[in-house]
Chains A and B, each alone.
Chain A
Amino acid sequence: MEASAGGGCGAGPPLLLSDGEQQCYSELFARCAGTVSGGPGSGPPEAARVAPGTTTTAAAGPVADLFRASQLPSETLHQITELCGAKRAGYFGPTQFYVALKLIAAAQSGLPVRTESIKCELPLPRFVMSKSDGERRIGNPAELLGTKVQIPYLTTEKNSFKRMDDEDKQETQSPTMSPLASPPSSPPHYQRVSLSHGYSKLRSSTEQMHPAPYEARQPLGQSEGPSSGGPGSKPLRRQASLIRSFSVERELQDNSSNYLDEPWRITEEQREYYVNQFRSLQPDPSSFISGSVAKNFFTKSKLSIPELSYIWELSDADCDGALTLPEFCAAFHLIVARKNGYPLPEGLPPTLQPEYLQAAFPKPKWECALFDSYSESMSANQQPRDLNRMEKTSVKDMADFPAPTQDVTGDDKQALKSTGNEALSKDVSEDPATAKDCTSLKARPRSRSYSSTSIEEAMKRGEDPPTPPPRPQKTHSRAASLDLNKVFQPSVPAVNSGLLPPPPALPPRPYPSQSEPVSEGDLHPQLNRAPSQAAESSPAKKDAPHAQPPSKPIRRKFRPENQSTENQEPSTGGTASAATVKPHPTVHKQSSKQKKAIQTAIRKNKEANAVLARLNSELQQQLKEVHQERIALENQLEQLRPVTVL
C-alpha cells in the first residue's frame, strides 16, 4: 500500500516502503484505527475520525499514544505530526501515518539530520533502510502496542488506583498475549508499576525515570509471546512501560504504602548507579569494600551514625565487616530510602537480599557513563545526594550524550534508557558467571583481615571524615595485624611536629591535633587492644619536645619501635637543648606559654606512663605464665627423654 494510493495525500513524492515496513505500517495503522472504537480512553479524537473517501484514518488518540510510545520528546512529536499530518488533512490518513512513522524512526535513530528531514518533508530513502529497526520497534508487536497504548490513559490520572488498574489491565491482557518468559532476571510479580510510584515519592521527578527501564522489563516478559521480532519487541516494551512510568512520574506524590515492599526494589537505573559507586570505591566489582571505606563513604550521606549502623547491620548479611556488590547495593538503597523519608525496615527486605540481588541483576559490563548522566540529573534534583558528588564531573560530559533531548522530561530518559537497556539485555547471559564469583567470594573466612592497603586506601580517600576522628579505624580485636595498622594510624599526626617523619607508606593525615580529651579516650582502647605494641614502644619518647600539641606524644608512643625511636632520640636531644635555650632570651610571655605546654605535655606523659605501667605489669604477668609453661614443658621433655645409660 503505497502512499500514493492513499487518499488525501498532499503534495509529496510517494513514499517508498519496504515490504516489512508496509506490513508494520499497515498493522499499526489498522491498530490505531481499530482500537479507536475499542479503546476506553481514546477520548475525543473519535470525532476527528472523519474519513472522507476511501481510506480510514487513525484516530488521533491512539496515534498520539503511539507517537508518545516512540519515546521521542513531545516537541519532536509535534514536529512530526505537523509535518506529516496536520499540514495536510486534519487527520491521520495512511500517508500521514506512514510518514509520521518514518519520521519517528528517524528521530529514534538519533539521526541529527532529523530536523533536516523534517524541513525536507521527505524522509530520504536511506532513512527507510536504517530506520527499519526503528520501525520495527514501533511496529512489530502491533497488537501489543495497541493494548499498551491504552494503558497510559489509565495511568495519566493522578490517582494511585490507576496504577492498580494498570497492572490489572496488564495482567488481564497478558493471557491474551500469552506471556512467556518474563525477563530473565525478575519474577513475573516483580513487575510493578508501583515501584516507580513508591519511588516517585522518594525521588525527584528525574529519578523516577529509574524505575522506567525496570518496568520496561516487565512488559517485556508479557509480550514475548506474541511479538515476532525479538529485538524489536524490547524497545517496544520499553516504550510502553516508559509511558507508564511517565504517568507514574506525574502522580508521584502518593505514598505507595499499598505495595509494601516496593520501595525496597532496586530498579535497573539505581542498580547501575550503585555499581558505579561501588566501582569508584573498589575497582573490582567482584571484590568487596572494606568496612572503613564503606563507612567513610556512607557517612557522607549525612545520616546519623546509629542509622548507618543499623543499615549496615541489615545489609551486611554475612557479617564479615565488608560489603560485596549486592550487599553494597542493598546498603546504598537503604540509605537512599532513608534519606527520602522511608523508615528503615525491621529486617532486610527480600528484594534486597544479596542472593536475590545477584540473581536479579546481571553484572554491568557495559558503558556506565550512560548512567552517570542519570546520576547527575538525579543529583541535580535532590540535594541530599552527596554521594553523587563523585559522579557529577564525569556526568557532565555525558550530559552531552542525549544531545537534543536533554531536558528533564521523561522522553529523554526513555531514549537514553532504551539504548542502555539494549546493552543491559546482552549481559543477562553473564549473570550466572558473576553470581558464581560472588558466592565464591562470599565464602571468605569470618575473621576479616584488614590489609594495610585497605587502610591506606581509606585514608587516602582524602576527605576528612565528617566528624573528627576520635578513634582510629574500627577494627577487630582478633588479628594482631590489626593492631599494627592501628599503631600506624594515630602516629600520622606526628607529621606536624616536624620531628618525626611520617610513618612509611601512609600519607600525612590532617589530624585534629587539639583533641586532647579525645586522644586520651583513644589511648585507652588503643592500649587495650595493642598492649604488645604499646609496651614495645619506648616510653622514652615521652620526653619529647613539649611545644608540640599534647596529643602528639601519646600517639608517638604507638609507633613501631625501631625507626621512630632512632629518629626521635637524636631529634629529641636536639630539640630539648633548643628548647632549654629558647626560654632564656625570649620574652616571659613565650616562656609561660611554653610552660603551660610543657605542663600539659607532662601531664599527658604521666597519664600515658601510668597506662603503660599497667600494661607492663600485665605483660609481666603473661611473661611469668609463659615462663612457667616453658618450665613445665622442659620438665616433661626431660622425663620423656630416654634415659642415657651410663
Chain B
Amino acid sequence: MAMCIVVIAKENYPLYIRSTPTEYTLKFYYMVHTSLDVVDEISAMGKALVYQRELYLGLFYPTEDYKVYGYMTSSKVKFVMVVDSSNTALIFQKLHNSYTDVMCNPFYNPGDRIQSRAFDNTVTLMMIQVC
C-alpha cells in the first residue's frame, strides 16, 4: 500500500511532504499538486471550510487504486493525502491535532517547513496503520 501525505500552507507551498517510498512517489506529488486546484474550487464555493472535505478523484490508473483526500483547516492549511483506503476522517483528525501541536511550539514559525519529530512520528504511525 502506498501513501503520501502533504501539508500545504495557505500560499500553496508545501510545509511537509512524506510518502512511502515507491516508484509512484513522483506521481503522488504530481497528483497532490493538481489536487490543489480542486481544493481551491471547493473553497471558493463558500462552503464551510472547517470541516473535513473529501476529494475523491477516483481511479487514475487502472492498475492502482488510490484516492486523494483533502482537508483544510481554518487557517487555510491543507492536508492532502493520497491513500488507497478509507478511514481518512480519523487520519485527518490526528493530522490536525499533530499540526496544532507543532504550531504550539513557539520556535516554529508558521510558514516554515515542519521539522517536528513528533509530527513525523504521527505521520509514520498513520502510514503504518494504513499500510
Contacts and interface: CB of A to CB of B under 8 A. Distances in A.
Interface of A: 291-292, 294-295, 298, 305-306, 308-310, 312-313, 316, 319-321, 346, 446, 448, 471, 473-474, 476-478, 524-525, 528-529, 621-622, 624-625
Contacts of A291: 104-106
A291 B76 CA distance: 23
A525 B15 CA distance: 14
Nearest to B44: A621
B108 A474 contact: yes
Contacts of A312: 105-107
The prevalent SS among residues of B at the interface is loop
Contacts of B108: 309, 474
Nearest to B111: A525
B118 interface: yes
Interface in B103-122: 103-111, 115-118
Interface in B73-108: 74-76, 100-101, 103-108
Interface string B42-53: 000010000000
Nearest to B104: A321
A621 B107 contact: no
A621 B46 contact: yes
B94 to A, nearest CB: 13
A319 B75 contact: no
A298 B104 CA distance: 16
Given A474-B110, A529-B75, A625-B46, A306 B10 contact: no
A624 B103 CA distance: 31
B118 A476 contact: no
Nearest to B108: A309
B105 A309 contact: yes
Contacts of B76: 528
A444 to B, nearest CB: 12
Given A298-B107, A308-B107, 16 more contacts: A292-B106, A310-B115, A310-B117, A313-B101, A313-B105, A319-B104, A446-B100, A448-B104, A473-B106, A474-B105, A474-B108, A477-B74, A477-B103, A528-B10, A621-B46, A622-B46
Given A309-B116, A478-B74, A625-B46, A316 B105 contact: yes
Interface of B: 10-11, 46, 74-76, 100-101, 103-111, 115-118
A305 to B, nearest CB: 5
Contacts of B101: 313, 319
A356 to B, nearest CB: 19
Nearest to A447: B100
A292 B107 CA distance: 8
B106 A474 contact: yes
B104 to A, nearest CB: 4
B74 A474 contact: no
A450 to B, nearest CB: 11
B39 to A, nearest CB: 15
The prevalent SS among residues of A at the interface is helix
B120 to A, nearest CB: 11
A525 B11 CA distance: 9
Contacts of A346: 117
A295 B104 contact: no
A316 B104 contact: yes
Contact of A474 (B75, B109, B117, B118): B109
Contacts of B117: 310, 313, 346
B75 A321 contact: no
Contacts of B107: 295, 298, 305-306, 308-309, 312, 474
A474 B108 CA distance: 7
Q: Which 8 A-B pairs have the closest CB atoms?
A: A291-B106, A309-B107, A321-B104, A295-B106, A477-B75, A319-B101, A308-B107, A312-B105
A309 B104 CA distance: 10
B30 to A, nearest CB: 26
Contacts of A621: 46
A290 to B, nearest CB: 8
User: Among A312, A313, A622, which residue has the most Cβ atoms of chain B within 10 A?
Assistant: A313
Contacts of B111: 525
27 contacts: A291-B105, A291-B106, A295-B106, A295-B107, A298-B107, A309-B115, A310-B117, A312-B106, A312-B107, A313-B117, A313-B118, A316-B104, A319-B101, A319-B104, A320-B104, A321-B104, A321-B106, A473-B106, A474-B107, A474-B108, A476-B103, A477-B74, A524-B11, A525-B110, A525-B111, A528-B11, A528-B75
Contacts of B106: 291-292, 294-295, 312, 321, 473-474
Contacts of A625: 46
B110 A321 contact: no
B74 A306 contact: no
Contacts of B100: 319, 446
A480 to B, nearest CB: 11
Nearest to B11: A524
Contacts of A529: 75
A529 B118 CA distance: 25
Contacts of B75: 477, 528-529
Contacts of A524: 11
Nearest to A628: B46
A298 B10 CA distance: 29
User: Among A320, A474, A621, A625, which residue has the most Cβ atoms of chain B within 10 A?
Assistant: A474
A524 B51 CA distance: 24
A321 B115 CA distance: 17
Contacts of A624: 46
User: Among B75, B107, B111, which residue has the most Cβ atoms of chain A within 10 A?
Assistant: B107
A321 B110 CA distance: 14
Nearest to A308: B107
Nearest to A293: B106
Contacts of B118: 313
A552 B41 CA distance: 36
Contact of A306 (B46, B103, B110, B115): B115
Nearest to A298: B107
Contacts of B10: 528
Contacts of A320: 104
Given A320-B104, A321-B104, A471-B109, A313 B74 contact: no
A315 to B, nearest CB: 10
A294 B105 CA distance: 10
A346 B120 CA distance: 12
